[in-house]
Amino acid sequence: SYWERRVRSSARARAHAGHVVLVTGASGFVGTHVCLHLKRRGDGVVGLDNFNDYYDVELKRARQTLLGRAGVFVVEGDINDRELMEKLFDMVAFTHVMHLAAQAGVRYAMKNPASYVHSNIAGFVNLFEVCKSANPQPAVVWASSSSVYGLNSKVPFSEKDRTDQPASLYAATKKAGEEIAHTYNHIYGLSITGLRFFTVYGPWGRPDMAYYFFTQHILQRKQIEIFEGPQHSSVSRDFTYIDDVVEGCLAALDTAKKSTGSGGTKKGSAQFRVYNLGNTSPVPVTKLVSILEKLLKVKAKKKLLPMPRNGDVKFTHANISLAQRELGYKPTTDLETGLKKFVKWYLDYHSDLRKYSS
């Protein structure tokens, strides 16, 4: 069928030794960038996304258009759909899975907990069930989160630090993902790498994230709310630029050892790894706002509020020496440089949405 032809052609690697990668959450922020980079260097790439309406679906469609123009086909479907997933693995011998599909967002977990269970727990397990039985077994690289460090007050965060105090249901589902992944590695010999991203930002970003809707609100002269820590101290994030994170994702794919098992049996031991992908340079949210004011040349209407009691952590800060050593990961973009690129994209994208209608 037409659909199958599109999948097969999208999966074709240009170079003989190229990877063939299934990217879940392909029409998401990080997924779009990962797909473009993989395709550009000659890997075969098939995307999967359910286009849910957690945020502006038009933006997800625009990213899909961008991917289509680059030769990446995005299958519309849910990671919970076992039949669809098995069909994809029957059609294509994926060497790798880049699993980015999830319900993201920290504070939304209090509004819609079920969506986190659906995608980050049930869908997560379904994906691993399909991967463990696939022949050949793909190596899996997936997005965990800095939120697993939770209420840990020791900074910077190292991979060995405790992760038993999640501050939100979102964080708890990412932490659960790490535990579930470990069992699939242990029982079925799946090669699995978890990447703990730290507040990623950039062009084609997520409208639910602070840097994006602050930009929107500042331009529309609307008030923004800035959460403060206890005793009015500032809250900070280790904001990490998208291109740096993508470099880390590709390095994780390239260094993932091929799984040793196939068809659901364990034959030897495969890799199980977890890395921080942060920027190692936390910035207060108040500073994020002042950089945006400078770039947009508009003064923000600010309202200071206490931190939401359940959800946010006061600060995040990555120790990246493990990723540096084993993946050659080295972030190079500071917040102001990265925000400049985001603002340029934002103004361009919102000036003419028709550019990306399919």
State which residue, 59 or 134, has the beta carbon closest to ligand NAD: 59
Which distant-in-sequence residues (6+ apart) come within 8 Å of 162 by Cβ? 152
Residues within window 125-184 making contact with ligand UGA, judged by CB under 6 A: 145-147
Which distant-in-sequence residues (6+ apart) come within 8 Å of 248 by Cβ? 195, 275, 277, 323, 327, 329
Which distant-in-sequence residues (6+ apart) come within 8 Å of 224 by Cβ? 213, 214, 217, 218, 289, 300, 301, 302, 303
Catalytic residue among 55, 149, 170, 201: 170
State the CB neighbour count (10 A cutoff) for residue 83: 8
Measured CA to CA, the distance from residue 273 to residue 114 in angstroms comes to 28
Pairing of strands 200-201, 236-237: unpaired
Q: Measured from the CB of residue 176, what is the shortest distance to ligand NAD in angstroms?
A: 13
Residues within window 33-72 making contact with ligand UGA, judged by CB under 6 A: none
Measured CA to CA, the distance from residue 96 to residue 167 in angstroms comes to 32
| Cα-based distances in Å from 139 to 97, 199, 285 | 6, 25, 37
Out of ligand NAD, ligand UGA, none, what residue 101 binds, judged by CB under 5 to 8 A for its kind, is: ligand NAD
Nearest to 238 by CA among 280, 290, 276, 197: 280
- If one asks whether residue 49 binds ligand NAD (CB under 6 A), the answer comes out as yes
Task: Among 25, 44, 105, 177, indicate the residue that binds ligand UGA (CB under 6 A).
Answer: 105
State which residue, 100 or 251, has the beta carbon closest to ligand NAD: 100
Task: Among 45, 79, 172, 251, indicate the residue that binds ligand NAD (CB under 6 A).
Answer: 79
Out of ligand UGA, ligand NAD, none, what residue 312 binds, judged by CB under 5 to 8 A for its kind, is: ligand UGA
Measured CA to CA, the distance from residue 98 to residue 222 in angstroms comes to 38
Out of ligand UGA, ligand NAD, none, what residue 49 binds, judged by CB under 5 to 8 A for its kind, is: ligand NAD
- If one asks whether residue 29 binds ligand UGA (CB under 6 A), the answer comes out as no
Interface mask toward ligand UGA for 221-250; x: CB under 6 A: ----xxx-------x-x-------------
Q: Is residue 170 among the annotated active site residues?
A: yes
Measured CA to CA, the distance from residue 147 to residue 163 in angstroms comes to 9
Task: Among 199, 259, 276, 333, indicate the residue that binds ligand UGA (CB under 6 A).
Answer: 199
Cα torsion angle, 60, 176, 22, 132, sign? negative
Residues within window 95-134 making contact with ligand NAD, judged by CB under 6 A: 100-104, 119, 123
Which residues contribute to the site for ligand NAD (CB under 6 A)? Answer: 24-25, 27-31, 49-52, 60, 78-80, 100-104, 119, 123, 143, 145, 197, 199-200, 206
The catalytic site residues sit at 170
Interface ranges with ligand UGA (CB under 6 A): 104-106, 145-147, 197-199, 209-210, 225-227, 235, 237, 285, 312, 316
